[in-house]
Amino acid sequence: MTLQLERELTSDEKAVRNGRTVILGLASAAHAASAYKGGNELFAECSSLGDQFDQGICYGFIVGVTDAMLVNNVACIPKSVQVGQVRSVVINALTADPVHRDAAAVDLVADAIAKAWKCP
């Protein structure tokens, strides 16, 4: 029996592969356990202007969903877009539709981003 060896991956290729695996795993876990964080909770964290901890949670959650979407080519956000702009899009969506804020935060964030930056 002869074994065929794959070529050795470069460190960049390994990092991309590992990053995608982690992000996809987190996105899948977040979606499966969508009760983890609801839109009302995320809205409260993002709206608490004086609380830096809540703001960090807000930004971190939005960046995590955004990264997962970019890796999976679900959103096409230009490189010139700042994290604050993405946060504003999400907050505007949560503000404009309070009726559905009880949905999973991951779904609400993904929907807001996908609507704002559609892929061609």
Question: What domains does the chain contain, in order, with CATH numbers?
Answer: 38-116 (1.10.890)
The secondary structure of residue 6, as a DSSP letter, is P
CB neighbours of 37 closer than 8 A, spacing ≥ 6?
Answer: 61, 104, 105, 106
Residue with tokens 């460190």: 11
Provide the 3-class DSSP secondary structure of residue 77.
coil
Q: What is the pLDDT of residue 26?
A: 53
Q: Which two tokens stand for residue 94?
A: 């949560």
Residue 85, pLDDT > 90, answer yes
Would you say the pTM of this structure is higher than 0.85?
Answer: no
Please write the tens of the pLDDT for every residue from 40-83: 999 999 998 888 999 999 999 999 999 999 888 888 899 899 99
